[in-house]
């Protein structure tokens, strides 16, 4: 993937864009989420605009209430430039398929990165790892284990999010809690297991 796109950053940038297809982003917001310099993101956006993969539009952005609202007409807010994927690009579908084909490698990456947490007995990917446009609706990553070093979870997950270019809705619980909730048909657990998912680790034989 990095060889094809020219650099690890460009591969990560493509993953970020296609994982967030349909969203509008300001340059500073992209740099923050990717943890890269503003100059590097601007340079990449300039190239992708020239190629026709990304579009730029000046719109009004209202950030009142903690959630951004966009409008082409001035109602309130500031006029800012935002960027988004151009579905009219001739090879858009091919690029989307190519980015999504990185899933097997991504699964190995997740298992390796999460091992320092301790004895993981069940690791399930769902949500954004299976085509959902955004995380948080149910759960993207369920981590179940015993004697897990929960104080390291935030640090490790932050690095994973930075690598794949998207926020991940994750849940950590003990084996005892998971088995109890599984046995009583807990809605949260059923929502994960009843929708597309993969068990990367399954020592509980679920």
Task: State pLDDT tens for residues 158-168.
Answer: 888 877 777 88
Please compute the mean of the pLDDT values over residues 50-55 and round it to a whole number.
92
Query: Rounded mean pLDDT of 4-18?
Result: 77
What dotted CATH number matches 2-100? 1.10.10.10
Nearest of 140, 167, 36 to residue 13 by alpha carbon:
36
Overall pTM > 0.75: no
Lowest mean pLDDT among 18-22, 101-105, 140-144, 200-204: 101-105
């Amino acid at each position: 993937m990095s060889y094809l796109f020219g650099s690890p950053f460009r591969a990560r940038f493509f993953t970020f864009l296609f994982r967030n297809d349909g969203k509008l982003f300001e340059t500073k917001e992209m740099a923050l989420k990717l943890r890269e310099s503003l100059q590097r993101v601007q340079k990449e956006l300039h190239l992708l605009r020239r190629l026709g993969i990304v579009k730029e539009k000046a719109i009004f952005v209202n950030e009142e209430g903690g959630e951004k609202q966009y409008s082409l007409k001035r109602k309130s807010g500031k006029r800012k430039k935002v960027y988004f994927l151009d579905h009219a690009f001739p090879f858009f579908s091919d690029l989307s398929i190519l980015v999504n084909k990185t899933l097997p490698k991504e699964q190995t990456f997740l298992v390796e990165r999460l091992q320092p947490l301790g004895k993981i007995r069940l690791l399930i990917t769902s949500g954004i790892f299976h085509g959902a446009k955004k995380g948080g609706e149910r759960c993207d990553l369920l981590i179940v284990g015993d004697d897990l070093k929960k104080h390291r979870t935030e640090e490790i997950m932050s690095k994973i999010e930075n690598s794949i270019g998207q926020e991940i809705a994750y849940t950590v619980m003990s084996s005892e809690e998971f088995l109890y909730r599984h046995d009583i048909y807990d809605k949260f657990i059923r929502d994960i297991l009843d929708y597309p998912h993969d068990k990367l680790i399954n020592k509980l034989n679920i």
